[in-house]
Structure 1
Amino acid sequence: MKIIVPMAGRGSRLRPHSLTVPKPLIPIAGQPIVHRLVKDIAKVLKQPIDEIAFVLGDPAWFGDDVVNSLKDLANSLGAKPSIYRQDQPLGTGHAIMCAKPSLTGPAVIAYADTLIRAEFDLDPTADSVIWTKKVSNPEAYGVVKLNENDEIIELVEKPETFVSNQAVIGIYYFKDVAILKDKLQDVLDQNVMNGGEYQINDGIKRMMAEGRIFKTGTVDEWMDCGNKNVTLETNAKMLGFIKADGDEQMIANSIVNDNSTIIEPCYIGEHVSLRNCTVGPNVSIGNQCVIENSTVKNSLIQNHTSIKNANLDHAMIGNHVTFDGNFEAISIGDYSILE
């Protein structure tokens, strides 16, 4: 089994945090989004992963540190890492085709801007499985249309009339991804574009037209990381899941706790100093941070940051930040100083 991860986008909706760090590398509960996504997919698949292929953007943005972290991720799962580049933002189908040498055999394709919680077995009769989540407002999403055998027969983008309540979340399984590769090559050769881009859906629709069997795999949780507010919601949910699972250390042994209270669930990284603070619930703090005389809840703070005299709620703070003030629902990017 292979995992293909297109992640060349810069994540403009999450600015200022994605101005200096690619969105898939922003940490949720102490681990980058893409790391958690790949690990969660590996758990769902319940089988060995042979290769993980990452499709990155400009090397000036996705540099050696990003490449090395992704190679380490693949190696930790016993998989071969492969790195590809998408030099132009030409859509989801184009991004997949940038990994053409890896598009053989069974594979999962997962776009690195979402997290899932799921537990199910892949249907052996299906040529493809499209992960979906039941939603209350399907008109806001791309959804699947099913026949009487619960097979997907059509993909409908933001339907004006009800088609189904199962929204496509951007994760796909193909029994043989080479078939999708061939169809996407036709899309590129024939210059079939939607919204000025080559889309994965146009390859999938050609597979459906040949009678390939598509089934759904419904996830229990679909957590977005598109903007600051939903990222904080995802961080809180993930902290709760990790605490319930009990298989990750959430508070490092190296923290210095000086007259401070921690209200779980929280993730607190290495060499963090807490002085006269109340931290939590639903707080993630990166490595080597100092927090003094503050209350912090429902917030995400990255690495090497100093917080003083603060009352933070629904705050997102980047790396190497110095903050001293009495604001609450703030969003501060990397290397900022507010004193």
Structure 2
Amino acid sequence: MKIIVPMAGRGSRLRPHSLTIPKPLIPVAGQPIVHRLVKDIAKVLKQPIEEIAFVLGDPAWFGDDVVSSLQDLAEGLGAKASIYRQDQPLGTGHAIMCAKPSLSGPAVIAYADTLIRAKFDLDPNADSVIWTKQVDNPEAYGVVKLNANEEIVELVEKPQDFVSNQAVIGIYYFKDVSVLKDKLQEVLEENVMNGGEYQINDGIKRMMADGNVFKTGTVDEWMDCGNKAITIETNGKMLGFLKADGEEQLVAPSVKLDNSKVIEPCFIGENVVLKNTTVGPYVSIGNNSFIENATIKNSLIQTHTIIKNANLDEAMIGNYVSFDGNFKAISIGDYAVLE
């Protein structure tokens, strides 16, 4: 099995946090988004992963440190890491085709701006599985249309009339991804574009027209990381899941508490100092941060940051920040100083 991860976008909706770090590498609940996504997919697949192909953007932005991080991720799952580049933002279909040498055999394609919780088995009778989430407002999403056999027969974008409540979340399984590759090659050669981009859906629709069987795999939770507010919400949800699972150590042994307390669930990294401070619930704090005279809940704070005299709720703070103030629902990017 292979996993293909297109992640070349700049994450403009998550600025300023994505100005210095590619969005898929921003930690949520203590791990980068893409790391959590790939690991959760591997759990669902329940089979060995032989290769993980990452499609990155400009090397000036997705540099050697990013490549090294992704290689470590793949190796930790016993897989080979393949690195490709998408030099122009020409859509989802174009991004996948940038990894053309890896497009063979069974594969999952997953876009690195979402997190999931799921337990299901891949349907052995399906040529492909499109992962979906039941939603209350399907008119706001791209949804699947099913026939009487529960097979996907159409993809409908933001339907005005009810089609189904199964929203497409951007994760796909192909029994042989080379079939999709051939159809996307046709899309590129015929210059079929939607919104000025080459889309994965145009390849999928051609597969459906040829009689390939598509089924749904419904996830229990679908958590977006598109902007500051939803990323904080996702951080809180993930902390709750991790606490319930009991599989990860969420508070590092090196954390120093000086007249302070932690209200779980929280993630607190290595060498963090809390002084006269209450943290939690639903707070993540990165390594080597110092927090004094503060109350913090429902917030996401990255590494090497100093916070003093703060009452924070729904805050997102980057790396190497110095903050001393009386604001509340804030969003501060890397290297900012507010004193």
TM-score > 0.5, shorter chain as reference: yes
Residue of structure 2 in register with 1:89 after alignment: 89
Residue of structure 1 in register with 2:244 after alignment: 244
Residue of structure 2 in register with 1:205 after alignment: 205
Residue of structure 2 in register with 1:28 after alignment: 28
Could you tell me how far 1:252 is from its partner in structure 2?
0.3
Q: Secondary structure at the match of 2:173?
A: strand
> What is the TM-score of this pair, normalised by structure 2?
1.00
Unpaired runs of 5+ in structure 2? none
Q: Secondary structure at the match of 2:18?
A: coil
Deviations 1:222-270 (A, max 9, x none): 0000000000000000000000000100000011110101000000000
Residue of structure 2 in register with 1:162 after alignment: 162
Structure 1: which 4+ aligned runs deviate by more than 6 Å? none
Residue of structure 1 in register with 2:57 after alignment: 57
Deviations 1:73-128 (A, max 9, x none): 00000000000000000000000000000000000000000000000000000000
Q: Secondary structure at the match of 2:163?
A: coil
The residue correspondences of 1:199-238 to structure 2 (distance < 5 A) are 199-238=199-238
The residue correspondences of 1:103-182 to structure 2 (distance < 5 A) are 103-182=103-182
For 2:230 and 2:49, how far apart are their aligned partners in 1?
30
Percent of aligned positions that are identical = 83
Residue of structure 1 in register with 2:16 after alignment: 16
Residue of structure 1 in register with 2:48 after alignment: 48
**Amino acid of the structure 2 residue aligned with 1:126:** A
Deviations 1:176-214 (A, max 9, x none): 000000000000000000000000000000000000000
Could you tell me how far 1:146 is from its partner in structure 2?
0.2
**Amino acid of the structure 1 residue aligned with 2:246:** G
Residue of structure 2 in register with 1:258 after alignment: 258
Deviations 1:119-139 (A, max 9, x none): 000000000000000000000
Could you tell me how far 1:35 is from its partner in structure 2?
0.1
Residue of structure 2 in register with 1:78 after alignment: 78
For 2:245 and 2:49, how far apart are their aligned partners in 1?
22
Q: Secondary structure at the match of 1:309?
A: strand
Q: For this pair of structures, how many residues does the alignment match?
A: 339
Deviations 1:259-314 (A, max 9, x none): 10100000000000000000000000000000000000000000000000000000
**Amino acid of the structure 1 residue aligned with 2:203:** G
For 2:221 and 2:247, how far apart are their aligned partners in 1?
19
- RMSD, aligned CA: 0.3
For 1:283 and 1:233, how far apart are their aligned partners in 2?
10
* 2:286 is the counterpart of 1:286: yes
For 1:235 and 1:289, how far apart are their aligned partners in 2?
18
**Amino acid of the structure 2 residue aligned with 1:162:** F
> What is the TM-score of this pair, normalised by structure 1?
1.00
For 2:330 and 2:131, how far apart are their aligned partners in 1?
34
Q: Secondary structure at the match of 1:277?
A: strand
